[in-house]
Homo-oligomer: A and B are copies of this chain.
């Protein structure tokens, strides 16, 4: 059974996110919405993670994107996007990153992975993600790699 859980959007999650290097506009927006009480408890969170006891050890953002205006290629207008995939330093080396990727692959859709750092790029390449043709309309500032289901 996968250890990967869809993360609840609440103050505990918001606090745990502060431990991750890629913390920014998206997390701050989440806190604003919590404070304004506009979050429906049943909302689908785009965050997935692995807990060790009470600690969030690893996380990623995983989002389905349907973009017929700017498809990846002629057959790929519906795909997942991964970003903010990160394992906290004290939990590295246990395969948590691979578990997150396998979870994303289990949806059997193409995946675009946005990698900010060279080491995350290497990580995705090890998991069968490849460079794809850059397109300014679609990719703009993204450094990204693609994976396709068989």
Among candidates B29, B81, B83, B143, residue contacting A133 with C-beta atoms closer than 8 Å? B29
**CB <8 Å contact, A140 and B114:** yes
Once the chains are docked, how many angstroms separate the CA of A117 from the CA of B134?
22
Within 8 A of B (CB), among A18-58: 24-26, 28-29, 46
Residues of chain B within 8 A (CB-CB) of A1 are: none
B-facing mask of A126-150, CB < 8 A → 1, else 0?
Answer: 0000010110100111111000000
Residues of chain B within 8 A (CB-CB) of A144 are: 25
A59 in the interface (beta carbon within 8 A): no
Among candidates B29, B69, B116, B140, residue contacting A81 with C-beta atoms closer than 8 Å? B140
Q: Could you tell me which A residues sit within 8 Å of B by CB distance?
A: 24-26, 28-29, 46, 61, 63, 65, 69, 81, 83-84, 114, 116, 131, 133-134, 136, 139-144
